[in-house]
Structure 1
Amino acid sequence: MNLILMKSTPILHQLRIEEKLLRSSSENWCIINDGTSDPTIVMGVSGKVAELVNVEPVIRDGIPVIRRFSGGGTVIVDVGTVFVTLICSKGAVPGLQPFPRPIMDWSGGLYGRVFEGFADFHLRENDYAFGNRKFGGNAQSITKDRWIHHTSFLWDYDVKNMEYLKQPMRAPKYRLERHHLDFLCRMKDYLPCRSTFIEKTIAALSSHFTVKPVDKKNITDPIDTKHVSSTKLLTKEDLEAALSSPHESSVVQQLQL
């Protein structure tokens, strides 16, 4: 597995690299990005802006909103977020069926080893949680020959940033209609430092793969390739349209089959 370590890389650029590697590479990859430069909202491919985002303050404060290429929910990420992405060919993990639930269960076992001895880790529905409080949100995309599983880990978060997000209409049962601040927790309250988490994640991956560090400079910029990214930075006009049409139709992306 090729390992790319990044720090404070803008999440839009990270997502475009991920999509390129999913669509254009045949190798296995892990990308770890320790924080992103500016607070940014990231939505799943079929998310509806008006249902998920408090649009007026987002426009007022100039908060970027990205619609990524994969499914999953909506998050706001910033310098306190640690991102871990796994991009694999379907035969990379022996016996793993290339479907959402088996991939999710396998990842839960992987991170169970990472957090062993630190906290009461659980895979709850599609989230990573300590006890019954979420600290990691996941998204996936599965193509004909490959899959991607990417996670936003809340090492820390800014309480005021959570006000840009609405309470989702669809929520996991274990949330029990709790507000963001009662539902989420911070990894920094359980682990000694960010580097410990990153080191233990690499060690857990090494139990499944031969991990080989790769310099990000060796990855061709997605903008300079023939691959066209479907990850989109929404414009101010896109956001204003959501205000005027709160039931805007979702954007649907077909998985490559």
Structure 2
Amino acid sequence: MLLIYNENTNPYFNLAMEEYFLKNTSEDLFILWRNKPSIIIGKNQNTLSEINLDYVKEHSIPVVRRQSGGGAVFHDLGNINFTFISCKNNSFSDFRKFTQPIIDLLKTLGLNAEFSGRNDLLIDGKKFSGNAQYNYKDKVMHHGTLLFSSQIADLSNALKVKSIKFEGKGIKSVKSRVTNISEHLDNNIDILEFKNILMNYISAINPENKFYTINKKDKEEIEKLVEDKYSTWEWNYGNSPKYSLLNELKYPGGNIEFNLEVDKGVITKIKFFGDFFGKEDISTLEILLCGSKHKENELRELLNHVNINDYFLGADVDILISGILGAK
């Protein structure tokens, strides 16, 4: 098995890296990596229903969709991600096979970790690792998180969805009580020390394991995937399943209720209701917005040419866009 100790913390690069190696390796792989603060969305999820959009915008947090299913997770530099790519003897539902080495390592450090449910690892009943898998041809990619010294408050804030009603086929995340590995260790070690311990442990399992360094060609191909896919709105937001959004916003001029239907990231139907005043017929604005991407910069480009006050007395572009995107 090839071992990659990846030091890149760019989430777009790291998610693209997984896909690149999955599709281009003929040898089993194990990769350790970290992301700077970011939200990683499951393949089948509706992005806007999973994130606290205001918090994400305020803190400029990247939101990236991964290849595998499962729920949304918050990554920061206090979290280690591990990836197994298995090229043979695969069982798509065998989560225990890939998580057992993690459990075994933690036991050597005095921690009683256990596998729980369909894809979680727990210490004292609290989750420190969520896992997901993706199948490509005859290969399986298994990846998981290891909360070591993550900022739990940031995690909950970034993923805390406000009282917006989304309806659709997107898979909802299941919220769990979480903990950091470091809180349960007797010895005071930092995350990079732990990352080294984990890599050395995996390396020692099989004497045939050897390290691999990402080369120039690998990096160029990964960067192309970043540009074409992983950094794009189309993949991270537009790829959400068809959904409806019902939102209500109170502003100084009254209340506005937003009713949207979105398919492949494009607004297919939008209606405004409320006790607001306006001298122009609101249907004109509804027709204008149909066909627009459910995306801030495109909405802003459309609405910057409109006198919003003519339709919603006392409102402006920022108020209307925040309501359309589901913010309060």
Please state which band the TM-score falls in when normalised by the shorter chain.
0.7 to 0.9
Moved more, 14-23 or 227-236: 227-236
Instruction: Give the percent of matched residue pairs that are identical in Structure 1 and Structure 2.
Output: 23
Runs of 5+ in structure 2 lacking a partner? 162-170, 246-260, 266-328
| 1:99 corresponds to | 92
Contact 1:40 1:66 in 2 (8 A): yes
CA distance 1:17–1:24, change in 2 (3 Å): same
Distance in 2, matches of 1:55 and 1:90, equals: 41
Runs of 5+ in structure 1 lacking a partner? 92-96, 176-182, 252-257
| 1:60 corresponds to | 58
Matches within 5 A, 1:172-191: 175=176, 183-191=177-185
- Residues 74-128 of structure 1, C-alpha deviations (whole Å, 9 max, x = no match): 111111111111111123xxxxx5222x2x0212322221111421201112111
Aligned-pair CA distance for 1:227: 7.0
Aligned-pair CA distance for 1:30: 0.9
Residue 4 of structure 2 aligns to a residue in which SS?
A: strand
| 1:119 corresponds to | 111
Which amino acid letter does the alignment assign opposite residue 2 of structure 2?
N
Distance in 1, matches of 2:195 and 2:174, equals: 27
| 2:14 corresponds to | 14
| 2:146 corresponds to | 153
Matches within 5 A, 1:153-232: 153-158=146-151, 159-166=153-160, 169-171=172-174, 175=176, 183-191=177-185, 192=187, 193=189, 194=191, 195-196=193-194, 198-204=196-202, 206-208=204-206, 210-217=208-215, 220-221=218-219, 223=221, 232=230
Aligned-pair CA distance for 1:8: 4.6
Which amino acid letter does the alignment assign opposite residue 21 of structure 2?
L
Q: CA RMSD in A?
A: 3.2
Contact 1:19 1:229 in 2 (8 A): no
Residue 64 of structure 2 aligns to a residue in which SS?
A: strand
Contact 2:81 2:144 in 1 (8 A): yes
Work out the number of aligned pairs and report it: 231
Contact 1:57 1:164 in 2 (8 A): yes
CA distance 1:228–1:80, change in 2 (3 Å): closer
| 2:48 corresponds to | 50
Residue 7 of structure 1 aligns to a residue in which SS?
A: coil
Which amino acid letter does the alignment assign opposite residue 120 of structure 1?
N
Which amino acid letter does the alignment assign opposite residue 171 of structure 1?
V
Which amino acid letter does the alignment assign opposite residue 185 of structure 1?
T
Which amino acid letter does the alignment assign opposite residue 79 of structure 1?
L
Contact 1:59 1:239 in 2 (8 A): no
Distance in 1, matches of 2:7 and 2:67, equals: 22
Which amino acid letter does the alignment assign opposite residue 107 of structure 2?
E
Q: Which has the higher contact order (CA 8 A, sep 6+)?
A: 1
